[in-house]
Structure formats: C-alpha cells, structure tokens
C-alpha cells in the first residue's frame, strides 16, 4: 500500500455512464491484476475504491461506472487534476494457479480488471479466453482491447442481444474453442453465483463490498468464508472458489 | 521547544494522540506506512470474550463529513487477542497499549478484564459500554447510570490497571453516566462513542446499512463531542479521553481546552491512514503558533 498523488492524464467516456481514466504517478505498489486503488475526492468523506484495469510504467488505467454522486463527480474531472490515491490495495488474482486455458469472465464494470489479468496471463505463456457480459450494446466496452492483445477467443454477451451473444456470460460457454480448465471472474454477485454453479473447474472470484478504509483497518467489508472471516479490501477482493460461502 | 507529553492516569504519553478503537485494527496495516511508535498509545480493536463476525454487510455508509458503521464488534475474541494480536503488535509498537473491552453481560466484561489484567503490554483498560451496534448489547449499560455503575464496579474488582469507561452520547445525560462510573471506581472516562444514525439509498428506497442503523462518526460530530467533554469535565474529577471527529492538531488542542487529557482520533484514520502521524507532526507547530509551551497546561483551559 502506498499513498501518493496521481495526475489525471485523460478521463473519457467509453460507454453509457462508463469512464476510462488514466492516472500518472507512483505505480510501484500495484503488483498484481485484480488489485484496486482508493481515490480521495474533494467533498466526499470516504475514498472511492476502483479496480485497476491496466498498468503501463507510471500510468494506471481505471474504468468506472458513474453510478453515484462520487463517481459522477469523478467523471467531471479534467486532465491535470491531481488526486490523492492509496494504491496497491487488495490481494489480486494469482496467475500461477491456472492451467494453459483459463477463461476470464467479466460482468459490467467487473470486466475492467480482466484486462490486466489477460495481459499477465499472456506474459506467463497462457492463452486465456474472455467472456464479458453487459446489459446492452451501449454499455459494452473492452472487446476490441482484448482482441488487440492477440486473443481470438473473445466474446461479448448482452442481455438484450444488441451486441454479441444474446444472454448472459454462461450463454457463451458453448462457443469457447477450448474447454476451460480454470476461471477468473469479476462481476455482480448473482452472475458470479450462476458461473460458480455452472463451471466445474476451480476458479478465483473478485468480490465487491461497501468499504470504509479499503486497507483492512475498519472491518467494514468483512465476509465469512470456509477459511474464516476475511476483509474484502485486504484479504480479498479475490477469493478462491472452494472457500466461498454464498 | 514545546512539550507535548501528558500524564494519563498511570500512563505517561509522549503526546496525547491515540488512534480510537475500531479504526486502527491492531496496528499492522499502519505499521506498513510509518513508524507507529510516534503514537501516544493505541486503543486496540474492541474485544469480546468470544470471537465475533459482527453484523451483516453492508455495514458502512458515507455521510457528509463522516460515515456510519455497523461493524458490530468483529474481533477474534480475548484469548486470540492476547495470544496472537498483542505479540504481533508488539513487534511494531514498543509502548503500552489500551485494551478496549466489550460485552453483553457483566460476567463477560469481568472475564475479559481478568485476562487483560495479566498482560504486561496492556497499560490501560477501556471499557466499551456504549457500542450502539449490537442488539441487547452494550447499549443498555451505557444509557443507564445504574447499569454503568454496576458493570464498572464489577470490572474494578478484578483489575488494578487504569480503568477508563467509554461513554455513549446516546444517553439522556452523559455527565450523569460519567459520575456513576467515577463513583464505581473508574480512573477516567472516554467520550464520545458514535451517535446513532442511518442513511437511505434513494434508488432502492431501503436503508443503506443492512442492520438499518449504525454509529455516526467523523468531523460532523466534533462540536457535539466537544460539548459533551466540556460538560463531563465539570461533572467529574477523573481524567477524560476526548474523541469524536478529531482530524487536526487544532482539534486536539480544542478538545483539551474543553477538558480532555488525551485525545483519540477515529474516522480520520479511515480516510487518511497517515492522519494520526500528521496530527502528531502538526501539534508542536500549532502549539508554537498559539503560544502553548506545555500541552498539559491547557487541559480544561476553557472552563
């Protein structure tokens, strides 16, 4: 964990209410995909925890949905603005745990951390397939970015069928070129539960919870697991499949 | 050179700044960021006889200048705290710490305090009779003078360590409760715990907190806390640890002028993990600016 100032490089809308912000600063504590940063915003008491989508040198990319006053305010921020950021939070995904053919599953805003995860898996010599699910075409993003990494087994699903495969991420399973031997997932809990029941292989699940501090001090975001109580912000947000209690 | 040290009962503190229970865990997370030995002391995470998960989530809600928490005393239980957490904390923190003890019946408080009494690292016991989160729990002890007296008296009998009782602002008269604790043999009082509050999500039209209500803290409560410290100072002759929204060295000084001997910092730690360190660094500068040489000289100075 590190507290430092990051400068906004860019902050642009990429889908309906979805924004992509690139920040420049000390990224040295961001060591794994699936970690998050916690951003202080003027006029808001608590920080906003946002998962890391990508890291390139001293730049970190986040993708966030403007769903409340804090994130709506974030969407108005211009390049050059400096933000107080706690970086390198959370345990992140373990890329060593999977075989050669993992599937990455993202739901809505949960698709963002899958991007850095895909990059790290490719770096480790693995060939992930990707399924990202949205409500509608206007909500969707990232498909082209995954394809630009050289991945060809990439699918978008939409509930209303306006883009890609109609339905939920599970509706894309039959299209996968290779049967997945492992899965990584981040998305709404209902979606993760459906995948948990549908896939037999092991996997890692990234959870979300309302947080106080974001670094393990307040115990605001705890959950019960088969391996004991865990703080989503500190011992998570990633839990392995076998420890989850729904 | 200004002198920031204060004498809090039998504890000599290099400075009066103490992270408040429940906002600092057992200190490890902060030890990653700075040398926590700069702290006057540490009030550890509230501890009960049995391990507890606490309340269902969501248990955090943001507010203007503060937050509501309904953690509900999640902790590993007194035995684990003594066997594991205190030795771990001792690796990073060399000074005595404050054990914050909670319970749901007098015998639970007594058993925890008997155990805490035997631990050298514990320099003081802070009895939480005010946590508003647990049904049929601490609330009842802290809102009636009789039950506050009863639990303080029972714990007093089993410990020779300095005993501070942490008071709830959700009582009809906090000064009356403080007087009852003093009569029962408390060495001091800590105040205030959080104020009972709630938020409603406009989209779902339901309470944000799973447990509906929770404890409100942060800068918004500072004037309320200050007023209560001022009132309690007039009512008792034992030292006060003042807390409630303290976020700067100026707040620390103001709290001490109202009557606090030491000051706890709570919600500010969650917003900025360096909050206590920054306040400690600012304190001598703020004192010099105000012409204060010895911080302990100003305790109760506003009366």
CA distances (Å), origin B142, targets B52, B133, B149? 21, 13, 9
CATH of the domain at A17: 2.40.30.10
pLDDT of residue B131: 54
Q: Determine, yes or no, domain membership for A244.
A: no
pLDDT of residue B133: 41
Q: A145 and A84 in one domain? A: no
| Encoded tokens for B289 | 């600016």
DSSP β-bridge partners for residue A21: A11, A62
Q: Rounded to the nearest 5 degrees, what angle is found at the Cα of A79, between the Cα atoms of A74 and A83?
A: 55
- Mean pLDDT, range A193-214, rounded to an integer: 96
Q: Determine, yes or no, domain membership for A71.
A: yes
**A50 closest CA partner among A87, A1, A94:** A87
Q: A116 and A63 in one domain? A: no
pLDDT of residue B135: 45
Q: Where are the beta strands (DSSP E) in A16-124?
A: 18-24, 36-39, 48-56, 59-65, 82-89, 102-107
Q: A74 and A14 in one domain? A: yes
Q: Judge residue B71's burial from the number of C-beta atoms within 10 Å of its C-beta, 0-12 exposed, 13-18 middle, 19 or more buried.
A: buried
Q: Are B236 and B280 in contact (CB under 8 A)?
A: no
In sign, the C-alpha dihedral spanning A118, A121, A127, A133 is negative
Residue identified by tokens 């006060």 is: B240
Contacts of A3 in chain B (CB under 8 A): 33, 272-274
Q: Determine, yes or no, domain membership for A214.
A: no
| Encoded tokens for A165 | 């495969």
Q: A107 and A192 in one domain? A: yes
Contacts of B208 in chain A (CB under 8 A): 210
Q: A202 and A99 in one domain? A: yes
Q: Which residues, including other chains, have CB under 8 Å from residue B295's CB and lie 6 or more apart? A: B2, B3, B4, B5, B6, B15, B16, B253, B256, B283, B287
Q: Determine, yes or no, domain membership for A30.
A: yes
Share of chain A above pLDDT 90, in %: 98
B251 CA to chain A: closest CA distance, Å?
17
Residues in chain B: 303
| Encoded tokens for A98 | 């999977």
pLDDT at residue A132 tops 90: yes
**Domains of chain B, each with CATH number or no CATH:** 6-298 (3.20.20.70)
Domain boundary among A89, A105, A130: A89
Size of interface A-B (CB pairs under 8 A): 89
Q: Are B17 and B279 in contact (CB under 8 A)?
A: yes
Mean pLDDT of the residues in chain A:
96
Q: Determine, yes or no, domain membership for A224.
A: no
pLDDT of residue B214: 94
| Residue range B49-65, pLDDT digits in tens | 999 999 999 999 999 99
pLDDT bin (cut points 50, 70, 90) of residue A184 is: very high
Nearest to A221 among B45, B57, B208 (CB): B57
Among A4, A37, A42, A46, the residue to mutate for chain B (most B Cβ within 10 A): A46
Q: A119 and A59 in one domain? A: no
Q: With residue A8 as reference, give the H or E element that holds it.
A: strand A2-15
| Residue range B93-109, pLDDT digits in tens | 999 999 999 998 899 99
Q: How far apart are CA B272 and CA B283, in angstroms?
A: 17
Domain boundary among A55, A89, A123: A89
- Mean pLDDT, range A105-134, rounded to an integer: 96
Q: ipTM for the complex? A: 0.93
- Mean pLDDT, range B272-282, rounded to an integer: 98
Q: A77 and A102 in one domain? A: no
Q: Determine, yes or no, domain membership for A14.
A: yes
Q: Determine, yes or no, domain membership for A245.
A: no
pLDDT bin (cut points 50, 70, 90) of residue A137 is: very high
Range of lowest pLDDT (B30-34, B79-83, B133-137, B191-195): B133-137
Q: How far apart are CA A26 and CA A34, in angstroms?
A: 18
- Mean pLDDT, range A207-211, rounded to an integer: 95
Q: A79 and A104 in one domain? A: no
Domains identified in chain A, total number: 2
Q: A99 and A83 in one domain? A: no
Q: A63 and A35 in one domain? A: yes
CATH of the domain at A157: 3.40.50.80
Contacts of A48 in chain B (CB under 8 A): none
Which domain range does residue A75 map to?
A: 2-89
| Residue range B107-147, pLDDT digits in tens | 999 999 999 999 999 999 999 997 544 444 545 689 989 99
| Residue range B187-208, pLDDT digits in tens | 999 999 999 999 999 999 999 9
Candidates B112, B113, B131, B276; catalytic one: B131
A197 CA to chain B: closest CA distance, Å?
23
Q: With residue B60 as reference, give the H or E element that holds it.
A: strand B60-63
Q: Where are the alpha helices (DSSP H) in chain B?
A: 28-31, 78-80, 86-92, 106-117, 138-143, 145-156, 174-183, 222-235, 249-258, 267-271, 275-290
Q: A199 and A100 in one domain? A: yes
Contacts of B218 in chain A (CB under 8 A): 45
Q: Are A140 and A132 in contact (CB under 8 A)?
A: yes
Answer yes or no: do A45 and B271 touch at CB < 8 A: yes
Domain boundary among A27, A58, A89: A89
pLDDT at residue B158 tops 90: yes
Answer yes or no: do A220 and B63 touch at CB < 8 A: no
Q: With residue A20 as reference, give the H or E element that holds it.
A: strand A18-24
**Does the annotation mark B131 as catalytic?**
yes
Q: Determine, yes or no, domain membership for A236.
A: no
| Residue range B213-272, pLDDT digits in tens | 999 999 999 999 999 999 999 999 999 999 999 999 999 999 999 999 999 999 999 999
Q: A198 and A143 in one domain? A: yes
pLDDT at residue B168 tops 70: yes
């Amino acid at each position: 964990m590190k507290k430092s100032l990051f400068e906004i490089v860019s902050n642009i809308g990429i889908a309906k209410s979805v924004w992509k912000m690139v920040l420049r600063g000390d990224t040295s504590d961001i060591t794994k995909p699936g970690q998050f940063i916690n951003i202080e915003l003027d006029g808001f008491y608590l920080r906003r925890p946002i998962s890391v989508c990508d890291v390139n040198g001293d730049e970190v990319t986040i993708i966030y949905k403007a769903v409340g006053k804090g994130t709506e305010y974030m969407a108005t921020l211009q390049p050059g603005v400096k933000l107080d950021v706690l970086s390198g939070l959370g345990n992140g995904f373990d890329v060593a745990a999977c075989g050669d053919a993992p599937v990455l599953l993202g739901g809505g805003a949960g698709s963002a951390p899958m991007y850095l995860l895909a990059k790290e898996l490719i770096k480790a010599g693995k060939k992930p397939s990707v399924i990202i699910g949205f409500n509608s075409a206007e909500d969707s993003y990232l498909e082209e970015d995954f394809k630009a990494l050289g991945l060809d087994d990439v699918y978008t699903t939409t509930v209303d069928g306006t883009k890609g495969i109609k339905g939920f991420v599970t509706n894309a399973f039959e299209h996968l070129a290779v049967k997945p031997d492992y899965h990584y997932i981040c998305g709404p809990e209902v979606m993760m539960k459906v995948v948990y029941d549908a896939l037999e292989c092991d996997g890692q699940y990234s959870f979300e919870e309302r947080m106080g501090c974001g670094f393990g001090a307040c115990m605001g975001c705890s959950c019960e697991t088969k391996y004991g109580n865990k703080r989503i912000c500190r011992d998570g947000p990633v839990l392995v499949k076998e420890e989850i209690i729904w | 050179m200004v002198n920031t040290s204060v004498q809090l009962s039998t504890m000599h503190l290099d400075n009066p700044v103490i992270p408040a229970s429940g906002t600092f865990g057992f200190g490890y997370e902060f030890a990653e960021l700075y040398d926590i030995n700069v702290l006057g002391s540490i009030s550890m995470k509230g501890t009960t006889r049995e391990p507890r998960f606490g309340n269902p989530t969501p248990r955090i809600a943001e507010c203007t200048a503060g937050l509501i928490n309904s953690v509900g005393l999640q902790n590993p239980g007194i035995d684990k705290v003594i066997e594991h957490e205190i030795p771990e904390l001792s690796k990073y923190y060399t000074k005595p710490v404050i054990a914050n003890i909670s319970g749901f019946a007098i015998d639970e408080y007594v058993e925890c305090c008997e155990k805490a009494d035997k631990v050298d690292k514990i320099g003081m016991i802070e009895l939480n009779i005010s946590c508003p989160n647990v049904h049929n729990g601490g609330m009842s002890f802290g809102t009636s003078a009789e039950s506050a007296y009863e639990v303080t008296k029972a714990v007093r009998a089993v410990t020779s360590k300095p005993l501070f009782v942490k008071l709830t602002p959700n009582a009809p008269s906090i000064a009356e409760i403080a007087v009852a604790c003093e009569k029962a043999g408390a060495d001091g009082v800590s105040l205030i715990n959080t104020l009972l509050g709630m938020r409603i999500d406009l989209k779902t039209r339901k309470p944000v907190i799973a447990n509906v209500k929770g404890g409100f803290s942060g800068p918004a409560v500072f004037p309320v806390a200050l007023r209560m410290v001022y009132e309690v100072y007039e009512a008792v002759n034992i030292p006060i640890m003042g807390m409630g929204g303290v976020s700067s060295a100026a707040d620390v000084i103001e709290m001490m002028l109202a009557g606090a001997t030491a000051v706890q910092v709570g919600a500010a730690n969650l917003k900025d993990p360096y909050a206590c360190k920054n306040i400690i660094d600012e304190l001598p500068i703020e004192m010099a600016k105000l012409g204060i040489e010895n911080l302990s000289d100003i305790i109760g100075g506003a009366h």
